[in-house]
Amino acid sequence: MEFISEELDDYCVAHTTGESELLRRLNRETHAKVLQPRMLSGHFQGRYLSMISHMIRPKNILEIGTYTGYSALCLAEGLQEDGHLLTIDVNEELEEFVRSYINESPQKDKIEFRIGNALEIIPTLKETFDLVFIDADKLNYDKYYDLVFDKVRKGGFIISDNVLWSGKVADPSKKDKDTLSIRAYNQKLQEDSRTENILLPIRDGLIIVRKL
């Protein structure tokens, strides 16, 4: 995920608003206690997600892939006063950990955390979403996108994480299943005439789609 020098990355972080104490603690505890802590959005990307959410001022957010809850807490910061964020994850082993941090958040009454298969849950949802964040298993990105698209309002946004996949998507010699899947996903979004999009080299890559 290191696309720029460590010095430049440190400079960017140093000139980005800091994490709250709750997010700092969640960051530290995830790295200390949970497998694959690189999956955490972290300080820089977390502040970006918070900024985007504040710009959009969403009433309804859907997050697919909770992990330890860091990105959900960041996205919830920009919700409207009566807003709601639904975050879905299949890993029940982290449920208690995630709920403990949600319950400490100032936005706790706006956040709903469901354990289950998002491919089964999404078709049952009746809400219209202003913002969707996709950050789950990469092989199913294409399916998640198709399932949520009609549930996003006109002018709404879909953000997908890890779309640079440590730079592998730009290397034709990389042909593992995840890389091929993400490469095809990026191309699908690029060719979707119903939207406009931008791919940003933030952390492991974020592609933002706006529904026309």
Domain residue ranges of the chain, discontinuous segments joined by +: 6-211
First to last CA, the chain: 31
Beta bridge partners of 61: 85, 131
Residues 118 and 90: beta-carbon distance below 8 Å: yes
39 pLDDT more than 80:
no
* Predicted confidence band of residue 135 (pLDDT cuts 50, 70, 90): very high
Amino acid 1: pLDDT: 60
2 pLDDT more than 70:
no
CATH of the domain spanning 6-211, picked from 3.30.200.20, 3.90.70.10, 3.40.50.2000, 3.40.50.150: 3.40.50.150
* Residue 99 to residue 160: CA distance in whole angstroms: 23
40 pLDDT more than 90:
no
Instruction: Tell me the Cα Rg of the chain.
Output: 16
Q: What is the pTM of this model?
A: 0.95
The answer for residues whose C-beta is within 8 angstroms of residue 172's C-beta and 6 or more apart is none
pLDDT average, residue stretch 193-207: 96
